[in-house]
Structure 1
Amino acid sequence: MSELQTTVATICQALMDKLAAGDFNVEGRLPSERTLSEHFSTTRITLREALGQLEAQGLIYREVRKGWFISPPRILYNPLQRSHFHAMVQEQGRSAQTEVLDASQLIASDKVCDRLGLAAGSSVYCIRRLRYIDTRAVLYVEHYLNPQFFPDIIATDLTQSLTDLYYTRYGVRYGRVRFDMVSTCLPEQASAALKVPQNSPALFITRINRDQHDRLIDCDLEYWRHDALRIDVEVGGN
Structure 2
Amino acid sequence: MTALPQTQTSRIINTLRRQIAGGSLAPGHKLPAERELAVLFDTTRITVKDALSMLEAEGLIYREERRGWFVSRPRLIYNPVSRSHFHQLVHSQQRTAETQVLACESVVASGELVADMGLAPLSRLIRICRARRIDGRTVLYVEHFLRPELFPDIEQQDLSRSLTDLYRQQYGLEYGRSRFDICPTAARGEAARVLNLAQGSPVLAVSRINYDQYDRVIDCDREIWRHDAVRIRVESRHTH
Q: Same fold (TM over 0.5)?
A: yes
Partners of 1:38 and 1:85 lie apart in 2 by 42
Counterpart for residue 70 of structure 2: 69
Q: Does 1:218 align with 2:219?
A: yes
Aligned equivalents of 2:237 and 2:157: distance in 1?
Answer: 39
Query: 1:103 — aligned with what?
Result: 104
CA displacement at 1:148 relative to structure 2: 0.8
The residue correspondences of 1:37-186 to structure 2 (distance < 5 A) are 37-186=38-187
- Structure 1 letter corresponding to 2:14: Q
% identity of equivalent residues: 50
Is the 1:139–1:194 contact (alpha carbons within 8 Å) kept by the matching residues of 2? yes
In 2 relative to 1, CA 193–171 (structure 1 residues): closer, same or farther, beyond 3 Å?
Answer: same
Unaligned runs of 5+ residues in structure 2 are 1-5
Amino acid corresponding to residue 39 of structure 1 in structure 2? L
Contact 1:116 1:146 (8 Å CA) reproduced: no
State the alpha-carbon separation in 2 of the partners of residues 211 and 146 from structure 1.
Answer: 12
Cα shift at 1:79: 2.2
Distance (Å, rounded) in 2 between the aligned partners of 1:80 and 1:22:
33
Match status 1:205 vs 2:224 = no
Please report how far the alpha carbon of residue 26 of structure 1 lies from its aligned counterpart in structure 2 after TM superposition: 8.1
In the other structure, the counterpart of 2:228 is 227
Q: CA deviation at 1:21?
A: 2.6
Going from structure 1 to structure 2, the CA distance change for 1:217 and 1:95 (only over 3 Å counts) comes to same
TM-score by length of 2: 0.94
Alignment-derived partner of residue 30 in structure 1: 31
What is the distance in 2 between the residues matched to 1:133 and 1:192? Answer: 17
Instruction: Spell out structure 1 runs of 4+ moving beyond 4 A.
Output: none
Which is further off, 25-34 or 197-206?
A: 25-34
Residues of 2 paired with 1:192 and 1:79: CA distance? 24
When residues 91 and 26 of structure 1 are mapped into structure 2, their CA distance, relative to the original with a 3 A threshold, is closer
Residues of 2 paired with 1:155 and 1:42: CA distance? Answer: 57
Question: Relative to 1, partners in 2 of residues 1:232 and 1:26: Cα closer, same or farther, differing over 3 Å?
Answer: closer
Name the SS for the 1:148 alignment partner: helix
Of 60-69 and 181-190, more deviation after overlay is shown by 181-190
Moved more, 49-58 or 10-19: 10-19
What TM-score, normalized to structure 1? 0.95
1:20 Cα offset (Å): 2.1
2:28/2:71 contact within 8 Å kept: no
Query: Are the aligned partners of 1:110 and 1:120 in contact in 2 as well (CA < 8 Å)?
Result: yes
Matching residue's letter, 1:182 = C
Q: Which amino acid aligns with 2:211?
A: R
* Equivalent residues of 1:55, 1:61 under 8 A apart: yes
Q: Once the 2 structures are TM-superposed, how far is the Cα of residue 13 of structure 1 from its aligned partner?
A: 0.6
Residues 68-109 of structure 1: per-residue CA shift (max 9 Å, x gap): 101010111112211111111111111111111111011111
SS at match of 1:58: coil
Q: How far apart are residue 35 of structure 1 and its match?
A: 1.4
Q: Runs of 5+ in structure 1 lacking a partner?
A: none
| Aligned positions, number | 234
The amino acid that maps onto 1:145 is L
Q: What CA distance in whole angstroms lies between the structure 2 residues aligned with 1:63 and 1:82? A: 31
